[in-house]
Amino acid sequence: MTLQTPLPTPVDPGLDRGSRTSVRRAGRGRRPELIWYAFLVPALLAFTAFVVAPAAVGIFYSFTDYVGYGQWSFLGLSNYAALATDPRILDSYGFTLGFALVTVVLAQVVALALAVALTRRIHFAPALRGILVIPMVLSGIVVAYVFNFLFANTVPAIATAVGFGPLEQSILGDPDLAWLAIVVVSAWQTIPGALLVYTAGLTAIPDELYEASSLDGASSWAQFRLVTLPLITGFVLINTVLGVKGYLGAYDVIVGLTAGGPGTATSSVAMTIFSGFTGGDYAYQMANATIFFIVTVAISIVQLVATRGRAVRL
Amino acid sequence: MTALEGRTATGGRRPTGRSWTLTVLLGLACLTVLVPLYVTVSMALKTTGQAVDGNAFSLPAPFDPSGFAEAWTLTRFPVSFGISLAVAVIAVGLTLLLSSLAAYAIVRNWERRFFRWSLVYLLAALFLPFPVVALPQIQLTALVGLDGPVGVGILHAMFQLAFSVLLFSAYLRSVPIELEESARIDGASTWQIFWRVVVPLLGPMIATVGIFAFLASWNDFMMPSLITADPALQTLPVVQNIFQSQFGTSYNVAFASYLMAMAPTIVVYLFAQRWVISGVTQGAVKA
């Protein structure tokens, strides 16, 4: 799930209209036709059976010594206590959070800059946009294999030819630098989705606002900071929240580039969790997954709260 | 920050003149996309000998498409392709059916608490990364005999549900209800109204939701690699790993295989670019 799916933003909830019309038709308090439930319940049941129920069972097992089969007994919170002192777990969180933070900043700055440029008066705008969006439709694992070749062979070859020391060895084999390759490829893949959302936000800003502010003598940078940025805050928010969520769950790109190595230098939380399936520490990794879920939700909430009230509506 | 400098160059949104400076800068940005794709295509067409010479940017000389034939056999291309296709068909079909029906029911019964809360319940999935539920899902699918392509397709649909319901319900709110009401006066049932009035109106959104579900499913590596127990039933992206583990394999064969794995989504993009781009754009503004 590395495709960063863009989302409707809370610019205009538009809820009132729908509810008013259906109240007028159905009348409040009257029982709805049963068929409405037949429309909704399949989705609810499938979601419950395949996602919510397994999640609940998994969280339950995180309080036990279950190994994935056979008998189990309650352990209370000791799995969770063990997590807090496990260097392998702590390293994976350190790597994943750092990687997500760097990637989201890089991807959003580049996506916004490209979107601003694309919505100016330029030549060949549709073709340029069409090319820039291509990475969005490509498979993360395959893209990572291609870049694996480039980082391992092509980049060192070029570096050697021009005599640039630091890149003469493959950065994928360097425990301190391998994460940069993952940042680059993850950003490369997720910039297009963010770019399209920003393009939508930017085209919705009326030209009059820019004309008025330039009459007031605002510089281009001031225009961007005082007109553009406040009006697209909602889009920045949704891009950032979904971007961070995606990067926190990173797996495909890492598998294709470094497989978590060298050593465990680029082991993401997702990779550690999956090791619970083969490593016999199912319950322990479910405790890890539960913490991971709480961390993911908490980070999303922090982002939502931090930007609340900053968004300006037209 | 090049784009911001570019804005200075154009002097804001002047109605006359197009900026060549910005066009060239964006063209350079496009190279970051085109160069890796060029390398993939050119490597795939080289001889095995030329592919290991260390120059990724050289043109194939001579052209040698034999890498494709070898990749075709090594990845059992027709089988892997068929399995990927089956997974994607299940994922897209299930996503479209479940999410359009649910979104329609939710939007038209918004005043009822059960329907409102159902939306919140389904949207919770937006904050639920797959790794959190992976271990119990691997167990569940194995338990009920869905540890193969069918199970992967179902799970792809489940993780696509929240986003799709959101897009459909946002779109449905902007659809005038008068058409449905006149159909009702003509004696159509809700079921008939859905298929004959609502589904045709949803057309553009069905294209968008379907394309995103297809791309997410076709490109995924994580779920099939974990859920599918039988290696013979793996999808196209997963079987590409044979080129990582078999050191004897030549680069030209590997890149030919990567190209064949990427080709279907590139073709979809070429033909459906309009839906991909306008879908995101409309989805972002309308909701």
- Are B198 and B133 members of one domain? yes
Domain-embedded: residue B285: no
Whether B44 and B94 map to the same domain: the answer is no
Mean pLDDT of B100-117: 94
Q: Which of A31, A47, A128, A242 would you mutate first to test chain B, the one with the most B CBs within 10 A?
A: A47
C-beta atoms of A286 and B135 within 8 A:
yes
Amino acid at residue number A294: I
Integer distance in angstroms from the first to the last C-alpha of chain B? 30
- Kindly tell me the number of DSSP H helices and DSSP E strands found in chain A: 16, 0
Assess whether the previous peptide bond of B65 is cis (omega < 30° from 0): no
- B146 and B52, same structural domain? no
Q: In terms of pTM, does the model score above 0.80?
A: yes
Q: Is the pLDDT at B1 greater than 80, yes or no? A: no
Within a domain: residue B169? yes
pLDDT band with cut points at 50, 70 and 90 for residue B97: very high
- pLDDT by residue (tens digit) across A54-65? 999 999 999 998
If asked whether residues B56 and B119 sit together in one domain, one would say no
A60 to chain B nearest CA, in Å?
11
For A200-265, what is the HEC assignment?
HHHHCCCHHHHHHHHHCCCCHHHHHHHHHHHHCHHHHHHHHHHHHHHHHCCCHHHHHHCCCCCCCC
End-to-end alpha carbon distance in chain A: 33
**Whether B132 and B160 share a structural domain:** yes
Ramachandran angles phi, psi of B18, nearest 5°: -110, 140
pLDDT of residue A18: 43
Q: What is the domain extent for residue A227?
A: 86-307
How long a stretch of residues is chain B? 287
- Nearest Cα residue in chain B from A67: B135
Whether B93 and B183 map to the same domain: the answer is yes
Contact B4 A32 (CB under 8 A): no
Task: Give me the number of domains chain A comprises.
Answer: 1
Which residue of A50, A203, A237 to mutate against B (max B Cβ within 10 Å)?
A50
Domain residue limits at B144: 76-239
* CB-CB contact of A234 with A11 (8 Å): yes
- B65, B102: one domain: no
State whether B153 and B209 are in the same domain.
Answer: yes
Q: Which of B139, B238, B284 lies nearest to residue A197, judging by beta carbons? A: B284
- Count Cβ atoms below 10 Å from residue B107 Cβ, excluding itself: 25
Distance from CA of A300 to the nearest CA of B (A): 8
- Same domain, yes or no: B230 and B116: yes
The residue length of chain A stands at: 314
The CA-based dihedral angle spanning residues B156, B162, B167, B168, taken in that order and rounded to the nearest 10 degrees: 90
- pLDDT per residue as tens digits for the range B120-141: 999 888 888 888 899 999 989 9
Q: Report chain A residues whose CB lies below 8 A from the CB of B111.
A: 19, 22-23, 26, 28
Identity (one letter) of the amino acid at B71?
A
Do residue A145 and residue B244 have CB atoms under 8 angstroms apart? yes
Spatial CA neighbour of B66 closest among B259, B252, B266, B269: B252
Is A158 a member of any domain? yes
* Chain A nearest C-alpha distance from B273 (Å): 8
Tell me, yes or no, whether B43 and B61 share the same domain.
yes
CATH of the domain at A145: 1.10.3720.10
Residue B248 domain-assigned?
A: no
Domain harbouring B226, CATH code: 1.10.3720.10
The answer to whether residue B30 is domain-embedded is yes
Q: How far apart are CA A243 and CA A81, in angstroms?
A: 30
Q: Are residues B218 and B119 in the same domain?
A: yes
pLDDT for B205 equals 87
DSSP string spanning B159-171?
Answer: HHHHHHHHHHHHH
Distance to chain B for A195, nearest Cα, Å:
10
Mean of all residue pLDDT scores within chain A: 85
Residue in the block written with tokens 């608490």: B113
Among candidates A3, A22, A293 on the partner chain, residue whose Cβ is nearest the Cβ of B132: A293
**Residue B197 CB partners (closer than 8 Å, separation 6+):** B179, B180, B183, B188
Closest residue in chain A to residue B130, using alpha carbons only:
A249
Is A300 within a domain?
yes
Residue A307: per-residue pLDDT: 72
Note whether residue B162 is domain-resident.
yes
- Averaged pLDDT for residues A287-303: 92
DSSP B19: B
Over the stretch A163-194, which tens digit does the pLDDT of each residue have? Answer: 887 888 889 989 999 999 999 999 999 999 99
Task: State how many domains chain B has.
Answer: 2
Per-residue b or e along A82-96, where b marks 16 or more CB atoms closer than 10 Å to that residue's CB: ebeeeeebeebbebb
Same domain, B102 and B230: yes
Q: Mind listing the pLDDT tens digit for each residue in B65-92?
A: 888 999 999 999 999 999 999 999 999 9
Mutate which: B132, B139, B257, B285, vs A, most A CBs within 10 A: B132
**Contact at CB, B19 and A121, closer than 8 angstroms:** yes
Tokens of B26: 């964006």
User: Which residue in A has a C-alpha nearest to residue B144's C-alpha?
Assistant: A50
pLDDT digits (tens, 9 = 90+) for B29-77: 999 999 999 999 999 998 888 888 778 888 888 888 888 999 999 999 9
Contacts across the A-B interface (CB distance below 8 Å): 371
Q: Cα A300 vs. chain centroid, distance in angstroms? A: 10
Mean pLDDT of A132-156: 93
Closest Cα to residue B98, out of A135, A44, A314?
A44
Q: Kindly determine whether residue B3 and residue A117, on different chains, have CB atoms separated by under 8 Å.
A: yes
* Nearest alpha carbon to residue A69 among B145, B135, B228, B134: B135
Residue of A nearest to B106 (CA): A40
Per-residue pLDDT at A17 exceeds 50: no
Give B59's DSSP letter: P
Which of B52, B69, B86 finishes a domain?
A: B69
Q: Are A128 and B23 in contact (CB under 8 A)?
A: yes
Choose one of B69, B88, B122: the last residue of a domain. B69
Q: Specify the pLDDT at position B124.
A: 85
Quick check: is B257 in a domain?
Answer: no
For testing contact with chain B, the best of A37, A138, A239, A294 (most B CBs within 10 A)? A138
